[in-house]
Amino acid sequence: MALQHTCFIAGHARLPQGMAAKSVFDSLTITAEVDRKYGVILEASCTLATDHGRQYIHDLLKGISLKEGSDEAEGLIEIQYKGKATNALIAAVRDLYRQYEAMHADGD
């Protein structure tokens, strides 16, 4: 897909104490490449400390449409991700969705 048909957005949240990623980052970030027309997440990444964790979140979010809101992504994380970063991941997804909405409010 050509880049003019996608956008790149990021959502941020504070990390809880005691996480491996906390020694590197103060916040957790989820980034996503999103199809402009349908709002579908094509690629996603996050700042979890392990490759496995980052890949899992990518696989979990890929294919979700932000046009429908963030409930599906939040629900999947809540049900399927069991770790200290659960609440931070959900907060970052909510922020990601806010960035998506703001982009569309600006006429994009």
62-98 per-position pLDDT tens digit? 999 999 999 999 999 999 999 888 999 999 999 999 9
Domain coordinates in residue numbering, the chain = 3-105
Q: What is the mean pLDDT of residues 29-39?
A: 95
Place of tokens 């770790």: 83
41-46 and 27-35 as β-strands: parallel, antiparallel, unpaired? antiparallel
The reported pLDDT for the residue numbered 1 is: 59
Residue 25 pLDDT: 57
Instruction: Report how far Cα 74 is from the mean position of its chain's Cα atoms.
Output: 9
Amino acid at 21: A
pLDDT of residue 84: 86
Q: Which two tokens stand for residue 9?
A: 């957005």
Residues 6 or more apart whose Cβ sits within 8 Å of residue 2 = none
Q: What was the pLDDT predicted at 29? A: 94
Which of helix, strand or coil describes residue 33? strand
Q: What CATH fold (topology level) applies to the domain 3-105?
A: Enolase-like; domain 1 (3.30.390)
